[in-house]
Amino acid sequence: MNTVIKAALAYLVVLFVIRLIGRRTASQQAPMDMVVLFLFGGLSVSAVLGEDHSFFGAMSALFTVGMMHVGVSWLKIRSQWLERVIDGTPIVVFRDGAFDERHMRRLRMQQADVRTAARQQGLDDMDDVAVAIVERDGKISIIKADPEA
């Protein structure tokens, strides 16, 4: 019983802490972001299971986290507000040749992050980028400029 409650609480706490610290970490872009995620995992396991090393204890926590995930997903598709709270919304960080400094600062992103995404799309000039969007999962989408325009 105790393990189930702690696993459910840990799921919610980790979910919101990851959201609160920003989407850079969720995208696992750099080693420093991965350090946070690895430590979150380890600390959560010790907080949920403590000295309980039993198979059933671990399984009860595992199933609880799985069911919490299903439950939150179920709620998310029924509430747009909850969906935005949990996943966030895309954010435009580059448009018409200019970086949006305010959004970049909020997301703790550098121009290099956007340039990397552009290069991954085969572009070697930011003039070829119409819009760069930081998606809900933290990845950067590049929309190419229309050469005809």
Partner 1 sequence: MKVVRDDPPMPQEIAAGFYPAFEDGWRLTEWLGRAAMALFIAACVLGLLGPGLFSKRHAANPDRSITADYDAVVRFGAPTVIQLDTKVPDGKDLVAVTMARQLVDAFGLEAITPNPQSWQAGDDNVRITFPVVPGQKRVFIRLAGSPSFRGSQNLWVRLDAGESLAWSQFSVP
d(CA 123, CA 141): 13
> Which of 69, 84, 119, 144: binder of partner 1 (CB under 8 A)?
84
At 51, list the tokens.
Answer: 């000295």
- Window 88-117: residues binding partner 1 (CB under 8 A): 88-92, 106
Q: How far is CA 91 from CA 43, 109, 129, in A?
A: 31, 12, 15
Residue 50 binds to partner 1 (criterion: CB under 8 A): yes
Residue 127 binds to partner 1 (criterion: CB under 8 A): no
d(CA 12, CA 122): 39
* Segment interacting with partner 1, rule: CB under 8 A, options 24-32, 36-44, 55-63, 80-88: 80-88
> Given the complex with partner 1, which of 72 and 143 has the nearer CB atom?
143
